[in-house]
Chains A and B, each alone.
Chain A
């Protein structure tokens, strides 16, 4: 059974930093590209970032480019999102999701998310 467990979400002040983690199990983690998607409270879904299966390629939404860094450790079946210079508009539930086929850009498995709140 595929399981994705996000963690690391807390309340942080504007301008602060945070590192989210996603522990994956039930599938061959290093076979799949991984994404982060977020959802602000009461709002819609927003794609955040993508990392290739080997970590060699990373991509970001314009809204987070230069502030967030996606990474992975295939030996630990884990995905990360380093979030710097946080803003109020980064407040959201952050989900990780594997991409079932390279370049398919759809997600058939989601975690339950971890909540990041940026507030003073």
Chain B
């Protein structure tokens, strides 16, 4: 299965909002509410930011929110801060005990 499609890059100034899309198909993103988002800083392990489309783990700021419409999921980071600059990956359950990740988006805080 092909990776979910994300824009290669996104950017915003401090305090602004940025939204990252994650496009799949009806067999993955559109078919299940098991979309997750991970933040990864250089040289570090991924960190879970959103799971099951819109749920936030304990400790993740409420500036991070997730949603889904059809075959596209989205992660919105509001009130951008310097520490939000990182790579972001979506993932989705794809049926038959398979998981697929997105292509990744580099977020730059201008």
Interface residues of A (CB under 8 A from B): 35, 37, 44-47, 50, 57, 59, 61-62, 95, 103-108, 110-113
Among B34, B91, B97, B98: residue with most chain A CB under 10 A = B97
Closest to B46 in A: A110
Contact B101 A47 (CB under 8 A): yes
Secondary structure of the A contact surface, majority rule:
loop
Contact A105 B3 (CB under 8 A): no
Q: Given A44-B103, A47-B100, A62-B1, do A106 and B91 touch, yes or no (CB 8 Å)?
A: yes
Q: Given A104-B52, A106-B36, A106-B51, do A45 and B98 touch, yes or no (CB 8 Å)?
A: no
Contact A95 B45 (CB under 8 A): yes
Counting CB contacts under 8 A, is B57 at the interface? yes
Q: Give A83 to B52 CA distance when docked, in angstroms.
A: 31
Q: Which of A59, A62, A95, A105 contacts B91 (CB 8 A)?
A: A105
Contacts of B1 in A (CB 8 A): 62
